[in-house]
Structure 1
């Protein structure tokens, strides 16, 4: 039987002074992790980015923060995503193996190439993009699986190391995800149209490369859920302005969207969210990370979203593959 779609939690942590230090942000997030576990979420994810000034979203060292979260929660841990150009492969292999050990095998390593301007950041490699990235992926596998003589990289908790998901918005990224990794990762700012195109390219490449492999497609989506749809949409209009400004200032919001397409967010009632998830499932999506706490989102709205997802959406995820019949109180589509 096809396993049900899984729902994870995408946390926003950043260096903007108005959000407080990282320790303060984690203290505020800790009760949310507990609530998410109780609601049936399966994982928690952090992104990575680099800025020349403090910024509200993401971190320059997601693995370090995940290591801190490991004893605080039983949820799986994921990076969504690390940026390859900022990392030396042997150092990345070491840090990922240690987080996998500390979490007793709960790490999933999402990684994308990253912008050209990241060459040399934090000791990363300065080589040109694609060849460097593919060599890095091969090196990670070698260090984790073959344990070359004389290597200083510790063994990960799981034989062979954590699963790897590849992010990126072009067909090359989809091919790498199918042939060099364990799945594909679609970013929060990728339109549903781009998600569909990348999912198709990944699934076609996987069928050609390894037809017996189990597909894995993850997507990150800003998420606000309320029993009243108008309330959810009002919250989105009021509290997502900071997120929209951040991405639009980079010309990076809703990439690939065409006129008439829905915005790449999950906002509305549980019934409306299930309808969107059904569509994602039809594209081959297996994991959704609900980004419930972008900077500026009130705690009561965040907790309401987690509760609504736990009570009315997560119990129905298997029904997306089993006749589309949902429990009372959500949908009867």
Structure 2
């Protein structure tokens, strides 16, 4: 079973100067590109006070990164409650142009507090996300009717934004969420499903099985975000819990860490020697996971440690195509 394609999930917090964070992350992005990583991904959060992750409006930062790295760009995930669908169609199309067609959009619901704010409508989140996805498809020139899902030739109308996305039909859409509604959206309107950092392995495996059984309009991608620390000694690996404390604490305080876990589930992290991590990636691949974003530089981990994790995985062949 081939390993999933690997990318980088980049942590950028609101508690530190953003330009300095990007400068510190530059060696990691270079190392990742040299190793054969596929992409770099940013999450999204809106805070009233500084937090160690994430930033608002990740498309702005991705437009900046487009000129600094050859890696593909992704959002993991945009919070749909914060967005007007037509404005998002224009902004994503522009970032796709600026990045030479390297953009993928991961989309999720977002917290209830975002309802009716920041340009998003005051309506039920599920209904808004469904409407937003169909608007993006329609605006970017994608026909999403039964003929397309049946695999028949069905010419798409031209995009109705200017400039249009560089990718025909627009960026790929990956849909986050824990339930069957997310699988429906990922299969019928989107191009795949996005598994968040805090989702347990049991939840991941459940959603993979649901996606296998659900009729799909395209080959379904399954993309997973995981905290990752790779080391060669017990001392290095023993520091993982402390290194990840800011991130795991954020989710734990909200009752969201290891969501959907079954008894005996390990934490949803990739920690260990290169062989340990390769073994876990192989399990994910067997479940149907196609992409994994390695979250190697959260607050609490030094850039040098993050670079070493990538180099150790590269030396072990984790980025080799078809491994």
Give distance in 1, aligned partners of 2:80 and 2:157: 22
| Aligned match of 2:115 | 119
| Aligned match of 1:168 | 177
Task: Assess if the C-alpha contact under 8 Å between 2:231 and 2:273 holds in 1.
Answer: yes
| Aligned match of 1:279 | 283
Q: Aligned residues, how many? A: 310
| Aligned match of 1:328 | none
**Offset at residue 318 of structure 1 (A):** 2.4
State the Cα deviation string for residues 92-117 of structure 1 (Å, max 9, x = none). 01110011000000000000111222
| Aligned match of 2:152 | none
**Offset at residue 233 of structure 1 (A):** 2.3
**Offset at residue 315 of structure 1 (A):** 4.5
State the Cα deviation string for residues 57-90 of structure 1 (Å, max 9, x = none). 1111100000000010000000000010000001
Give distance in 2, aligned partners of 1:235 and 1:124: 41
**Offset at residue 227 of structure 1 (A):** 2.3
Q: Does 1:220 align with 2:216?
A: no
Give distance in 2, aligned partners of 1:4 and 1:198: 19
List runs of 5+ in structure 1 lacking aligned partners: 320-333
Give distance in 2, aligned partners of 1:28 and 1:306: 15
Give distance in 2, aligned partners of 1:41 and 1:173: 27
**Offset at residue 298 of structure 1 (A):** 1.9
Give distance in 2, aligned partners of 1:65 and 1:192: 30
Match runs of 1:1-333 below 5 Å: 5-16=4-15, 20-145=16-141, 151-205=160-214, 208-210=215-217, 213-228=218-233, 230-315=234-319, 318-319=322-323
**Offset at residue 151 of structure 1 (A):** 4.9
Q: Cα RMSD between the aligned structures?
A: 1.9
Give distance in 1, aligned partners of 2:107 and 2:196: 11
Give distance in 1, aligned partners of 2:10 and 2:216: 34
Bigger share in helix: 1
**Offset at residue 296 of structure 1 (A):** 1.4
Give distance in 2, aligned partners of 1:233 and 1:186: 24
| Aligned match of 1:325 | none
State the TM-score, normalized to the length of structure 1: 0.89
State the TM-score, normalized to the length of structure 2: 0.91
List runs of 5+ in structure 2 lacking aligned partners: 143-155
Task: Assess if the C-alpha contact under 8 Å between 1:222 and 1:292 holds in 2.
Answer: yes
2:318 match: secondary structure: helix
